[in-house]
Amino acid sequence: MADRAERRKILLASQYVQMASATLLTVLVATGLIHVWHILCLSFVCGLAQAFGGPAYLALIPTLVKREDMPNAIALNSIQFNMAVIIGPALAGQALARLGEKWCFGLNALSFLAPIVSLSIITSRFLPEITTDSIFSSLKQGIKFVRMQNSMETLIVLAFCMTALSMPMRTYIPVFVKDIFHRGPETYGNLLSLMGIGSICGSLIVAGRGNIRNKGRVALTMLICLGAGISGFSLSRSLPVSYVMMVIVGGSMMAVFATVTSLVQLITTNEMRGRVMSVYNCAFRGGMPVGNLLSGWLVPVFTAPLVLSLNGLLLILVALYFLLVQRRVAAL
């Protein structure tokens, strides 16, 4: 759909559906009629809307900035995402304490007005070519394009491996806080904040460097740093060392994400961008639940430190393989 319709309109429709779901949830909570199945159904609807909005969002970026500025734009986009991760929960906590849960849901519904207004202001338009091909045929063309670009397949595999092996660490931070360091919510908040600060620093560095050469080699080097940071955090029994590891993990994770996304955007042709970014988005986001699911099976058997340290080691091995053996990405 992101290659068949104006991407801005798809994004607007996605935001309207999510705002409607959030508004309905607010009404159900406020009236006391809320049940678990309501939350599950609304979560499914929001996920479906995001599935349409995600590829359209990524495909829209090249129409807003010049090709040589794309790495900077993607890195800056990573900054706003991480700022939202840091600021959002803090504001929500204050709203919950001062206003109550009903207002939290209501404010969440109102927050969708900001992207809707922003999208309405954008003047850039993507005019898709008129085609008689079916959606299924267009989808096959997109997958064929990905397979013909050998480096593209590798980049998608890297995106999946990065999220599948790195995101479980964020999930199991509370386990380390409680069982390893014997601390409470303050330490947990400090670890998340330092990871966010590292992410912002990493994004700023990538944005500052601009359209650098050897992006593939940089991405793989940062992937090694990410694996080393995860393993270091998992094996650490010192809180200051763990704080340092969190900064390294946050910075290297955002550097890998921004660089790999830039490479995918630069390789892709505009008429295929929606379909390619959909495949990339599926691999990138799909790695998170798959990684958490596998870790959820393994942690009770082998403990969280062992599983996460192995995840970090696997990331290092994946990066070394593509850096030294299969050098398609390293050559980019």
pLDDT of residue 210: 65
* Contact (CB, 8 A) for 47 and 19: no
Sign of CA dihedral 269, 274, 275, 281: positive
| Token pair listed for 229 | 């940071």
pLDDT of residue 85: 65
pLDDT of residue 86: 65
Q: Which residues contact 88 (CB under 8 A, 6 or more apart)?
A: none
pLDDT of residue 315: 92
pLDDT of residue 90: 66
> What are the backbone angles phi and psi of residue 209, rounded to the nearest 5°?
-75, -25
pLDDT of residue 46: 92
Query: Which pTM does this prediction carry?
Result: 0.77
Sign of CA dihedral 105, 106, 109, 110: negative
pLDDT tens for the chain, 332 residues long, are 877 888 888 899 999 999 999 999 999 999 989 899 999 999 999 989 988 888 888 788 777 888 777 777 777 777 777 677 667 766 777 777 788 888 888 988 999 999 999 988 887 776 667 667 777 787 788 788 877 777 888 888 888 988 899 888 888 888 888 888 888 877 887 888 888 888 888 878 877 776 677 788 888 999 999 999 999 999 988 899 999 999 999 889 888 888 888 888 888 877 788 888 888 888 888 888 899 889 889 988 888 899 999 999 999 999 999 888 887 777 77
Other C-beta atoms closer than 10 Å to the C-beta of 262 total 23
Domains of the chain and any CATH numbers = 7-123+135-325 (1.20.1250.20)
